Structure 1
Amino acid sequence: MTLAPAPVRPLQIGPLRIDVPVVLAPMAGITNTAFRRLCREYGAGLYVSEMITSRALVERNAITMRLIQHHESETPRSIQLYGVDPGTISEAVRIIVAEDRADHIDLNFGCPVPKVTRKGGGAALPWKIGLFSEIVERAVKAAGDIPLTVKMRKGISKDHLTFLDAGRAAEDAGAAAVALHARTAGEYYSGHADWSAIGELKQAVTSIPVLGNGDIWSADDAVRMMAETGCDGVVVGRGCLGRPWLFGELAGAFGDENAVQVDATLGFVKDAFRRHAELLVEFFEDEDRGCKDIRKHVAWYFKGYPVGGDIRSALARVSTLQEVDDILGALGDAPYPGAPAEGQRGRAGTPKRTALPDGWLDSREVAAEVTDMMRGAEVENSGG
């Protein structure tokens, strides 16, 4: 059932007005400039960079400095930072502000990847509420007039929830908004997101926007989440994999009269896939590398469509745009297949015991000095 369009409710994050209350979640290896530009072509929203490791930015790692660049068409510009050391994170924020590299900064406390959480980073860090508060406070101060937000999970496990304490701490520290992925670290991406937790957070955090994340596979899901939880906006991650036009559907669902009308026939999907490949080639400034990157998107784009294994296999081996054109040109058109093309996409997996440092759960406090053990968490991973 398609829900009636909801009235447009602009999202206000500090001085930024986001006309459609939708945010693209950072996803490692996905939400680069090419994908952000493509999504923006379909609908309005806030489009966030891949997760950037604060230490790599401070050290001016060449790859990292490339990842924080935005195309001239991108506005507002948004960067998500990750780290465990208050000093390093605040210095990374200072660099972004001083060099005018973003209009919005997000801090990630949602990564559930074991090699991060076992060092005390990601979704494990809000358990140490003092450290969490210090990181946000110092980052907000370094950001100045640039709005700084926080993204997190419910907690480490159902017995070690942190989202209410962390949400209130972020609010007190001056964050401009908080976003909740309504799963614990232990749930990873399995099962169903607990939208009731988003409603709880909205009741606890009252002076800044609360955004909901988890299981938004369609525009109807977004409308329903906002209606059920009272949240101020939605964060979309895996639901847009191979479906960048979801942002057009979302804009339409929130009543935006300028939203792109989408009829996702196979011909439409072919054009979107080709446009994505073209933008990747431009981003990497290398046709071979751009075409290699589009390969991982093949299964997502053509999920549910009558595209045979031979065609999919050929697309997963392309190295030039001409090859892309030749393969797509051999495909005819077909109507939108409905349910087979909808629903969950991307990783899911099963619940797992969260890897943590020895004794991590014994206390909610940690020394202000971040140990060498925790610094090991500062590696590149997806955002949570």
Structure 2
Amino acid sequence: MSSLRIGSLELHSPVVLAPMAGVTNVAFRTLCRELELERAGSTSGLYVCEMVTARALVERQPATMHMTTFGPTETPRSLQLYTVDPDTTYAAAKMIVDENMADHIDMNFGCPVPKVTRKGGGSALPYKRRLFGQIVAAAVRATEGTDIPVTVKMRVGIDPEHHTHLDAGRIAAAEGAAAVALHARTASQRYSGTADWNEITRLKEHVTDVPILGNGDIFDASDAARMMNETGCDGVVVGRGCLGRPWLFAELSAALNGQQIATPPTLGEVTKIIARHAQLLAAHHGEMKGLRELRKHVSWYMRGFPVGSDLRVSMALVSTLSELDDLLGQLDHDVPFPKDAEGPRGRQGSPGQVALPEGWLDDPEDDLVPVGADMMHSGG
């Protein structure tokens, strides 16, 4: 049995759902859990809520509070913070503790989005070693005396000339983080090219006192097993690979625990999954907004299936549950899962120079809080 311990959390599967903005809300997480229970017999991994901004949480912005919704039976409840300020970090983490909002706090230092790095947030921040350490320490201090572990997710660095993961991993562990997850790309790569799993190996060798989780280019069960075997990492974090494939966690859990992997779903089974996803989104957002949110998922679900362009366009414009049911009924339910649906999915983009504040690289020991960076709301 392959398991993973993160502080007080004992997970029976070393698989973590990466927080993705606009994707990993309570509807998607519930669907993933239901499919893992149905297809693998358990719900054993960690499913992380989409990222919320620490400042927005402390200010109780309605949209942010709505994002922190968890299912009535969801456990453990995992929430990721985007943060740049130790004081705000402490306040947000203390709020989570005092109001029993989550069982696990992760912190995002991996976002490569230009509007975030331009102000010193996301994957730009670990370059400032002292500030990074103060932020991690603040979250850990706020959770002292509780069973709520604090973890960190980051990238290899800013670009090939400015790797930060070894220092940041060491600092995070020293300040009390219970685990460190590494997306094995630099910020300059964004989501393009190939993740360098060798950097996960290096981090695992460098930081030996907390679990190291690997992230990047896990698109099927064999990828997860290969990453763990090749790098020695303690668990895997899955992001884009599950877009349009929420049953992937059942496959990963089964593979890593030596169980038989269920046959991929037919188009008919996929239509049932889409319909269930739509119901969950409508319950969370209301029917109109929920169906708008579903549209991007439908294109991922339909990838590789022989579905005509007219029907694809109609599903991309769907606005009601009844309309969706009618469109799904027009599909050939006997079509098997296509080979073309495997492999990379979601955003990839192209590499580029990382936008940074002026003079950001001058002094890695500078611990001044970047101005305006805590207003950002995107993650990655």
Fold match, TM over 0.5? yes
Residue 227 of structure 2, aligned match among 216, 225, 228? 225
AA partner of residue 197 (structure 1) = E
Equivalence for 2:100: 100
Shift of 1:260: 7.5
The C-alpha deviation readout for 1:335-372, integer Å capped at 9, x for no partner, is: 434430111100001110000011111110213x424x
Shift of 1:256: 6.1
TM-score, length of structure 2 as denominator length? 0.95
Contact 1:117/1:377, CA 8 A, preserved across alignment: no
Equivalence for 2:280: 279
SS in 1 for 2:5: strand
Contact 2:53/2:374, CA 8 A, preserved across alignment: no
Contact 2:255/2:261, CA 8 A, preserved across alignment: no
Equivalence for 1:196: 198
Q: For 1:188 and 1:378, how far apart are their aligned partners in 2?
A: 21
Contact 1:83/1:378, CA 8 A, preserved across alignment: no
AA partner of residue 287 (structure 1) = E
Residue 10 of structure 1, aligned match among 3, 8, 21? 3
With over 3 angstroms needed to count, the CA separation of the structure-2 counterparts of 1:27 and 1:216, relative to structure 1, is same
The C-alpha deviation readout for 1:19-66, integer Å capped at 9, x for no partner, is: 110000000000000000001112231000111000000101011111
Equivalence for 2:61: 61
AA partner of residue 253 (structure 2) = A
Shift of 1:280: 0.2
SS in 2 for 1:183: strand
AA partner of residue 215 (structure 2) = N
The C-alpha deviation readout for 1:50-91, integer Å capped at 9, x for no partner, is: 110000001010111111121112100000001111000111
Equivalence for 1:265: 266
Alignment map for 1:235-250 (pairs within 5 Å) = 235-250=237-252
Equivalence for 1:321: 321
Alignment map for 1:354-365 (pairs within 5 Å) = 354-365=354-365
Residue 23 of structure 1, aligned match among 16, 29, 45? 16
Contact 1:241/1:345, CA 8 A, preserved across alignment: yes
The C-alpha deviation readout for 1:219-260, integer Å capped at 9, x for no partner, is: 110010000000000000000000000011111111265x87
TM-score, length of structure 1 as denominator length? 0.94
Equivalence for 2:377: 380
Equivalences, count: 371
Question: What is the identity percentage for the equivalent residue pairs of Structure 1 and Structure 2?
Answer: 57
Q: For 2:155 and 2:128, how far apart are their aligned partners in 1?
A: 14
SS in 2 for 1:362: coil
Contact 1:115/1:377, CA 8 A, preserved across alignment: no
Q: Which range is displaced more, 137-146 or 230-239? A: 137-146
SS in 1 for 2:361: helix
SS in 1 for 2:154: strand
Equivalence for 2:78: 78
Q: Which range is displaced more, 308-317 or 11-20? A: 308-317
The CA RMSD over aligned residues, in Å, is 1.3
Equivalence for 1:179: 181
The answer on 1:35 being equivalent to 2:28 is yes
The C-alpha deviation readout for 1:129-170, integer Å capped at 9, x for no partner, is: 000000001111102221000000000011000000000000
Residue 157 of structure 2, aligned match among 155, 161, 177? 155
